[in-house]
Amino acid sequence: MTPEPRRKHEWADEQQDAGLSAIMSERRQLLNLAYRLLGSLADAEDAVQETYTRWYAMSRAEQEAVESPGAWLTKVAGRICLNVLGSARTRRETYVGEWIPEPLPGRDGWTAGAPGGAGADPADRITLDESVTMAFLVVFEAMTPAERVAFVLHDVFRYPFAEVAEIVGRTPAACRQLASSARRRVAATRAEAGPTATRQAVVVRRFKEAWEALDIEALIGVLDPAATAVSDGGGRAVAHLQPLEGAERIARLYLTIARLAPPRTVLETPVNGLPGLAVESDGRIETVFAFEVSTDDRITRIWAVRNPDKLRPWQRQ
């Protein structure tokens, strides 16, 4: 039998479905960009949602006139993030204690939903690479908003400076200078390449075992003599408000915390793609630790996130 000719509205529906699929396929890329720019899953989700809101606020004719929807979405998301970064600098001035980027859980079952599925946690849609390690995100925080956007778009996502310029609102030459300045900041503050993830996991386990055993000598031994520890409670959880410096000072405070803390379980788990720890008490993750490890297998920096607002993706559903 000869199939019936397809009705006009059926073709239109298919085209609309294909267009919607193409637009929504950009979501992962946008979320990856926004998280690196903002250092917060919640803020990244909000920025991506606002980007799609602006797309669907346009008429069908306006949407069809956009030559590259993906480029349009990236441009809008970049500008939204640039604005958020500007206002965030003001908010951070009133933040209680140190501000640490939101830690990203690994793919080991912490988050609910299948990765990429409709109910998946945003963390499952972040691609893990060097640019999302805690050390890298902390360096990003020292950059100006324009430097951060120019660097992430060009050096991480490989956008040409002509496109970066449209987002930042500067000339391509100015954006090249911004990225260069950001690159120098990264080079000046980053340590030399650390050990492999496998070796880092061994170092983190040594830290965990010494901490749980209340062994101050072992704990000092796993720390670099000039190690720094930063804690982020945001005024919502107990945390030391100033960075701690020196292996002995860090070890003594951490052992005091261990002695006074209620029963808890310290779990080894990936944090922003590298070995870390999560402290669980009464079925809730109350602290997440990220580490920087030197080539001589000592911990040089510890970031402890305790602000419950930043730990929502870590809670078991």
Q: In sequence order, what are the beta bridge partners of 277? A: 268, 289
Q: How many CA atoms lie within 13 A of 168 on its CB side?
A: 29
Measure the CA–CA gap between 287 and 303, rounded to whole angstroms.
Answer: 10
Residue 148, pLDDT score: 96
- In this structure, the number of other CB atoms found within 10 A of the CB of residue 314 comes to 25
Confidence of residue 193 (pLDDT cuts 50, 70, 90): low
Residue 303 — φ and ψ, nearest 5°?
-120, 120
Measure the CA–CA gap between 240 and 229, rounded to whole angstroms.
Answer: 9
Provide the residue type at 32 as one letter.
N
- DSSP character string of 82-138: HHHHHHHHHHHTTSSS---PPP-B-SSS-S-S-TTSTT--GGGGPPPSGGGSHHHHH
Which of 94, 128, 156 terminates a domain? The answer is 94
- 290 lies in a domain? yes
Measure the CA–CA gap between 50 and 10, rounded to whole angstroms.
Answer: 30
Higher-pLDDT residue of 16 and 49 is: 49
- 185 lies in a domain? no
Residue 111, pLDDT score: 37
Residue with tokens 């920096």: 301
Q: How far apart are the first and last CA of the chain?
A: 53
Which of 40, 70, 94 terminates a domain? The answer is 94
The residues, any chain, with a CB within 8 Å of residue 95's CB and separated by 6 or more, are: 234, 235
> What's the helix, strand, coil split of the chain in %, to 5?
55, 15, 30
Residue 121, pLDDT score: 60
Q: Does pLDDT of 104 surpass 80?
A: yes
**What is the average pLDDT value for the chain, to the nearest integer?**
87
H helices, E strands: number in the chain: 12, 6
246-267 confidence digits (pLDDT tens): 999 999 999 999 999 888 999 9
The residues, any chain, with a CB within 8 Å of residue 177's CB and separated by 6 or more, are: none
- 53 lies in a domain? yes
Residue 228, pLDDT score: 97
Q: Does pLDDT of 105 surpass 60?
A: yes
Q: Does pLDDT of 119 surpass 70?
A: no
- 295 lies in a domain? yes
* Predicted structure pTM score: 0.85
Which of 37, 70, 94 terminates a domain? The answer is 94
Lowest mean pLDDT, pick from 41-55, 113-127, 148-162, 257-271:
113-127
- 277 lies in a domain? yes
Q: Does pLDDT of 108 surpass 70?
A: no
Output the domain CATH number for residue 251: 3.10.450.50
- 33 lies in a domain? yes
Residue 116, pLDDT score: 34
> Which run of H or of E encompasses 206?
helix 197-212
Q: In sequence order, what are the beta bridge partners of 5? A: none
Residue 107, pLDDT score: 63
- 169 lies in a domain? no
Q: Containing domain of residue 44, as a range?
A: 8-94
Do 291 and 274 form a contact (C-beta atoms < 8 A)? yes
Query: What total of structural domains would you count in the chain?
Result: 2
72-95 confidence digits (pLDDT tens): 999 999 999 999 998 887 788 789
- 57 lies in a domain? yes
